[in-house]
Amino acid sequence: MIQLKHLFKWYNVGSTRSFVLKDVSLTIEEGDFISIMGPSGSGKSTLLNIIGMLDAPDEGEYFFQGENVLDLKQKKRTQLFQSHMGYVFQSYHLLDEMTVYENIETPLIYKNKSSSERKSIVSDLLDRFNIVGKKDLFPSQLSGGQQQIVGIARALAGSPSLLLADEPTGNLNSKQGEEIMELFQQLNAEGVTIIQVTHSEKNATYGKRTIHMLDGQLK
């Protein structure tokens, strides 16, 4: 599904280059569940963002389902992102001025789904995550765990084949964290490829494979 070849990413600090990613190559198969671990500043988030097309490497190649992502035009890349990827964040990043329902609906609007289609998809998700009763609440009215569930529901709204999660349980207590991880496992079982960045050994065990990073390199 994903092939990364010799990725480099650096910042110029004065006259020296400070590498965030240094010659990273990685292949990810469809249906995989990968946990990326490593200390702060090891480049795990950068790697995730490059996979998620939110960031670009300074050097190297990135193939997604055989397409050379870095050569694609912005519009094409947005399309590819919309149809295949969902993002989950540590601090949920819900849109504050929108209700739960609207938050989940927004990606569908960007995908130009018809209003009836949107309605059925959002209803299914609300149902599935047991948040029907909260659909008209605003994010500030929810607990952290609930907000993250909405975040996941929103990420799944576009029925992505790849779910990217940047420390999804980082702001949650352990019980809430476990629930989210079980949810991820279940999704993976349904065929969604998942890549998560995590600090927690325990969370990493939910995945099928763990990658360790240090100073911008895979170990």
Partner 1 sequence: MLTNNLKIAWRNITKNKLYSSIKIGGFAFGIAICLLIVLYIKHETGYNKLYPAMERVYRLVVQAPEGNKINRWVSLSAPGAATLKDEIPAIESSGRMLPNPQFGAGSNQLTINSLPESHYDDGFVYIDQSILDMFPSPMQYGQLQHALDKPNTVVLTKSKAIKYFKGNPIGQQIYLNNDKSKSYTITGVIDDIPSHSTLSGYGFFMSLAGEPFYPGEQQKWTSNNYTIYIKLKPETNVSLAEQEIFKTYISGHYIPELIKAGRKVGPIVNQIKIKLQNALDIHLYSADIEDDRVSTLNRGDIRMVWTFAAVAFFILLIAGINFVNLSTANATNRAKEIGIRKTIGSSRNSLISQFMIEALSYSFLSLLLGVLLANLLLPLFNNIANKSIQMPWFNWYFIPSLVLATVIIGVVAGIYPALYLSGFRPIAALKNKLVGNVRKPSLRNGLVIFQFATSIILIIGALISNQQIQYILQKDLGFSKVQVIVLRGLNAVDDKLSPLKRELYTLPTVSHVSIGDYLPVPIDGAKRNGNAFWLDGKREQDLATQGQFWRIDEEYLDTYGIKLIEGRNFNPEMASDSMGIIVNKQMIAELGIKNPIGSKITNGETWTIVGVVDDFIFESLKGEGIAPIGLVLRDSPSLLSIKVQPQHMDETLASITKVWNQFSPNQKINYSFMDEGFEALYQDVKRTKNMFTCFAVVAIFIASLGLFGLVTYITQQRTKEIGIRKVLGASHMSLLKLLSEDFIKLVFVAIVIAIPIAWWAMNQWLADFNYRININWVYFIVAGGSAILIALLTISFQTIKVIRTNPVDSLRNE
By the rule CB under 8 A, 78 interacts with partner 1: yes
**Residue 110 vs 117, nearer CB to partner 1:** 110
By the rule CB under 8 A, 52 interacts with partner 1: yes
Q: Which residues 133-162 are close enough to bind partner 1 by CB under 8 A?
A: 154-155, 158
Closest distance to partner 1 from the beta carbon of 205 (Å): 27
Helix H, strand E, coil C: the string for the chain is CEEEEEEEEEEEECCEEEEEEEEEEEEECCCCEEEEECCCCCCHHHHHHHHCCCCCCCEEEEEECCEEHHHCCHHHHHHHHHHHEEEEECCCCCCCCCCHHHHHHHHHHHCCCCHHHHHHHHHHHHHHCCCHHHCCCCHHHCCHHHHHHHHHHHHHHCCCCEEEEECCCCCCCHHHHHHHHHHHHHHHHCCCEEEEECCCHHHHCCCCEEEEEECCEEC
Closest distance to partner 1 from the beta carbon of 94 (Å): 7
By the rule CB under 8 A, 73 interacts with partner 1: no
**Residue 162 vs 204, nearer CB to partner 1:** 162
By the rule CB under 8 A, 94 interacts with partner 1: yes
By the rule CB under 8 A, 106 interacts with partner 1: yes
Closest distance to partner 1 from the beta carbon of 102 (Å): 8
Applying CB under 8 A, the residues found at the interface with partner 1 are: 49, 52, 54-55, 74-75, 78, 81-82, 86-87, 89, 93-98, 102, 106-107, 109-112, 154-155, 158
